[in-house]
Amino acid sequence: MSFAVVLSLVTIGVVLIRVAYVICRTGKPLKGRRRASEPASTLIVLGSGGHTAEMLNLLAVLQKDRFSPRFYIAAATDNMSLQKARSFENSLANETGDKVVETSQFMQIYRSREVGQSYITSVWTTLLALAHGLWLMIKIRPEVILCNGPGTCVPLCIIAFLFKIVGVRWSSIFYVESIARVQRLSLSGLILYKLHIADQFFVQWPQLQRRYPRAHYVGCLM
């Protein structure tokens, strides 16, 4: 057996071991991580069709100083979500008297596929979205990712998972399935669930938890 073949097999073995380790450690606290009381840079993925409204309702009950600075991301063709996020941050600034908006950033990402777009042309747009998502993740390097179903969260979460494998950054991914999903997970949720990408996976209906036992039932958050 040639040296190149042996080296390839060893490399593949090391990668598989690392992937297995990351999957086993996903959702568990790691030694050496910062204290829970310290703020963590947080990436918040927004989306049309009610995803943004649900996410902002979730953020309203979280400890804002624990999840800071906040980076909001929405699809490039979504004109409303970032406006709502800015209004949300402005309301926080008015309530607390802090300059919250100055510690928050608002970004857009290319969408992998538009509604009605052909699958042939979506190959190029998907590659473009992945490249753009990689650039954003390298720039932000979030410690926490919050998402609840928009398709734009999938490439970002996959990139974050790959970062864990190569040791670039260990981002804790929290996925909250939309309240509109009563019997089945959304496609985004199904991908993150099946691939063990999310550190914590939450659903808002008990029948969903029974169907997907690794999910955590948290009741209706709306």
Q: What is the pLDDT of residue 56?
A: 94
Assigned domain for 73 exists = yes
Is the pLDDT at 27 greater than 70, yes or no? no
Instruction: Write down the pLDDT at residue 139.
Output: 94
- Please determine, for residue 204, whether its predicted confidence score (pLDDT) is greater than 90: yes
Task: State residue 153's pLDDT score.
Answer: 92
Residue 152 lies in domain? 50-217
Mean per-residue pLDDT for 37-62? 91
Mean pLDDT calculated for residue range 99-119: 75
Provide mean pLDDT across the span 100-117. Answer: 77
In this predicted structure, what is the pLDDT of residue 102? 60
Of the two residues 133 and 23, the one the predictor is more confident about is 133
CATH number at residue 186: 3.40.50
Strands of 216-217's sheet in order across? 104-109, 70-75, 42-45, 144-147, 172-176, 200-203, 216-217
Most confident of 8-12, 16-20, 44-48, 90-94: 44-48
pLDDT, average across residues 64-73: 92
Q: What total of structural domains would you count in the chain? A: 1
105 occurs within a structural domain: yes
In a domain, 168, yes or no: yes
Residue 1 lies in a domain: no
The mean-pLDDT minimum among 30-44, 47-61, 127-141 falls in 30-44
Q: Is residue 143 part of a domain?
A: yes
pLDDT at 120: 74
Q: Would 3 be classed as within a structural domain?
A: no
Q: Is residue 165 part of a domain?
A: yes
pLDDT tops 80 at residue 7: no
Task: State the average pLDDT over residues 57-79.
Answer: 91
Question: Is residue 201 over pLDDT 60?
Answer: yes
Q: Would 39 be classed as within a structural domain?
A: no
